[in-house]
Amino acid sequence: MIMIVFSLGLCFGSFIHVAYYRFSSEQSLFEYFRAICFNRSRCPSCQHLLTVWQLIPVLSWLILKRRCYYCFCKITYRCIIVEIIVAIIFMAIFLHRGIDFKSIFLMLLACYFLLLGMIDFQYYLLPNFFTQPLMWLGVLCAFFQLFNHSLSDAMIGILFGYLLLKIPAMLFYLITKNHGLGQGDIKLFAAFGAWVSYQSLPILLIIASLLGIVYFLFLRYVLNNKSLKFIPFGPFLLMSGYCFFYIL
């Protein structure tokens, strides 16, 4: 069973990488959906259509020795890294919780958060068509009492989460005339409020902030990236938020 879960993780990881690669900041939701579901996979260098065996997660990457079968251009490491990360997450959840409704939910959520984090790292953007469904799904789950979170708790959490980031962001802009936080970060944090108690949101924010600070200091002083001025906050909110989702 563990090998089945691991293999499923590899397949989902491959899909996440495709979804990330085909994202564009100018796309509508419909255009993005069409790009993912109806476009055949091609080599990014020579644009040759790839066959089924060339898309097998990890195995095809190893057989092809990290090169395109047609033009011999190197294939990015990112693809296999994403596949293995998702497979490890799936396997870890299975070993810890077995297979039940919440395990499947956590596996899918990990894919969702990983894709969103990768997009934010690349584009400094958290699209509304990613953050808003998370909020409304939380409201629906609260309405049907699927987790220990009532509908009133969800609505209070959304409002509290939104204001907890919106007010400091507005004050920062009034003082510096610079945007310290993007609207996507604020909406994502508000969406978390639909799932976790409003009392937990400040803790979630502190953990995310600490993760972001450590990452910034690592890039600035260990990797000596002196030109670095800002980093995306969304990936660290997602990592912190996932920990809270796990213990729901």
From CA 231, how far away is CA 215, in angstroms rounded? 9
Q: How does DSSP assign 60-86, residue by residue?
A: HHHHTTTB-TTT-PBPPHHHHHHHHHH
What global pTM score does this model have?
0.93
Predicted confidence at residue 191, as pLDDT, reads: 96
Residue spans of the domains in the chain: they are 1-123, 127-248
Q: Which residue has the tokens 């490890």?
A: 88
Token digits for 81? 């890294």
H or E stretch covering 175: helix 151-176
Question: What's the number of CA atoms in the CB half-sphere (13 Å) around residue 21?
Answer: 19
Question: What's the number of CA atoms in the CB half-sphere (13 Å) around residue 52?
Answer: 0
Token digits for 107? 């596996």
Per-run averaged pLDDT (10 residues), the chain, 248 residues: 94 95 89 87 84 86 85 87 96 94 95 97 94 95 87 96 96 89 95 94 97 94 85 96 90
From CA 82, how far away is CA 78, in angstroms rounded? 6
Residues 6+ apart with CB under 8 A from 82: 13, 14, 16, 17, 20, 114, 118
